[in-house]
Chains A and B, each alone.
Chain A
């Protein structure tokens, strides 16, 4: 975050754009096109850069990317891994969480799933200082707000 501040003081920022783009699938079409085109950013350069940096993810996982557009039509962007809720939904194979979390259980997941998700999340910039155990705990917390129960072993 401190480097972002340095950048902000260096060049005047025109806008901050948040997008969800599938990994390796950025194209000059909506959602990328209209959002970036408005600030005359080089769409193709962004698409190529983004696709190259997300090659290591499974294709089409939705990545959230934050783009800082500067007034001189240049830009910088950071890519975050998909949200925990997305991983949980994919692991459980459900479309959406339970409609009444806390009361109605949508599905169950085993501790192994949580562990795998935590390992992926550990490479996220803001999770790096947390121990794996605390990442797991926060994932379990998110799961319970979605109505997903976590058990030791799935039968």
Chain B
């Protein structure tokens, strides 16, 4: 137990000190942390899922508070909660199916043994899809009887029966935990492979002799472009340098190393160059529920330029970047103001930061925001690991990945105003 706590504290500290950069790394590490939280969590006989959900929520709340700007943390916490809920619903069906399988396999030979699991697995999948995939109202309705059923079974039964029940229970609880961990492992794998998943679709989008524009650097974009290159597509890339961090320089270097025809331009030259561009492909920090994008600073300008010249504006985002929140809330739409030293050399400008003379208040104020908000109407297409989607479809995608119960992570009710 203390081990998890130290792990959590360490991770919190890293998040706080902004030591983990990028939503991909953050998402991955959050998932790994939550996995260990789940595996260390003691589960009571009753309300197993509820106990797990509480534990994950408690940790998740701290994580989100540690760096509210990094939305991927919240996304992953919600994803894991959703996984727990999903696994909590499926055991009943799985258990029935499992009993059937064991009963049948005891009696019959190998030939049938091959068939049944397939059948039952398909049935389980169908059942779980039935219970979970439909919109929230139905899941809510099905949730209630399930949780009511658990205490009912535990209360009934005598001594010997109770023992066997509890043994069964413990195995069931182990299975729940096991299943959840399995599913979380899958999630980690998903996050790891999201670049490749997205890159696989590259050829469908990039055509021969096209000109692609991108801004700043994104690993997803790099892999996407390289995948198209590997499939023998020949095209050119314009890279806007992405001031003030100039990560575009790094991207250009990488692209050239992979043998792509690359042109580096200043951010301010985007509008001049956009008329020669066939498609804009960029990465994102987060995709909001309304299809809006929180992206590195400068992208709104690029999106507007693209709209003006009717150039498709394509956003690549792994599914961990899908955020089930809407950007109306100022609590959500946070920006990170980074150090002005990325813009100015402190030594050279130290006389402008001179508070001793004059009125004591500085006349020079440097603002260095990290993110832009690109409204959904400027985005032509999202490419996620599950395929291409319209901005207006994002809310449906989100319903697949998240449970509506988890949208608000704070356990405390909001203060009454």
Note whether A and B form a binding pair.
Answer: no
Give the B-binding residues of A (Cβ under 8 A).
Answer: none
